Amino acid sequence: MKYLVRERIFGIGDDFWVTTEGGEKAFLVDGKALRLRETFELRDASGRVVAVIRKKVLSVRDAMKVEDAHGETVATVKKKLFTPFRDSYRAELADGGELEIHGDFLDKEYDIEGGGERLARISRKWFRIRDTYAVDVAEGADPALLLSVAVCVDRLAAEHEEEQREKHGRHGEHGEHGERED
C-alpha cells in the first residue's frame, strides 16, 4: 500500500495526516512535541500512538530512534560508514535484525530491505504533489515502522546535505552552482 508523506517534517512542527494513495487518513503525525525537542509521535487513524521518533543527542554520529507506544526502542536509524560509492543507511532493530536502506536519498528514490526482501520503496515520482513522497509498503510488512524509518532517513539525509553545503560554502571550494572554482 502506498502512503503519502510530507518532506522534511521536522522543519514543520505542525500536525498533518499521512494518507493512503486513495486519500484516506492512515497516520497522524503529531508535531506538538517537535517544538520542544526533535521528537514526534505517529498515531493511527483512531488516535493511538504507534511510534515515537526521536533524534538521538550526544551520539558519536547522527542517529534517530523509533520507539513503540510504551517508550521501548524498536529501531535505531543511522548512516552507514564506509560506503565508498553512495550513501546508505541502516536500521538496527531491537530484535537483533537489521534493515538496509539504499538508493538516491536526495531525490527520494530508495528501498528499505530486510532479510533479503524489499519491504518498502520510497519514491517522489508516483505523485505530483509538491514536498511529498510516497512510501510503498510491501504486503505483510509493518507500515508504522517503515514510515518511521523513512522519516528518519529523510531527516538524516537532509542534515547531511546541509552539513555538506555549509562545509563547501565556508571554504569557498565551489561556486554558486556547485562548480569547482580554481
Model confidence pLDDT, tens digit, residues 158-168: 777 777 788 77
Q: Is residue 99 part of a domain?
A: yes
Higher pLDDT pick, 46 / 127? 46
Q: Is residue 83 part of a domain?
A: yes
Range of the domain at 51: 2-171
Q: Is residue 82 part of a domain?
A: yes
**Adjacent-strand bridge partners of 90:** 78, 100
Q: Is residue 90 part of a domain?
A: yes
Q: Is residue 34 part of a domain?
A: yes
Domain count, the chain: 1
Q: Is residue 179 part of a domain?
A: no
pTM for this model (two decimals):
0.80
Pick from 43-47, 66-70, 169-173: least confident: 169-173
- Indicate the SS3 state at residue 44: strand
Write the CATH number for 153: 2.40.160.200
Q: Is residue 182 part of a domain?
A: no
Reading the block at residue 8, the C-alpha cell is: 522534511
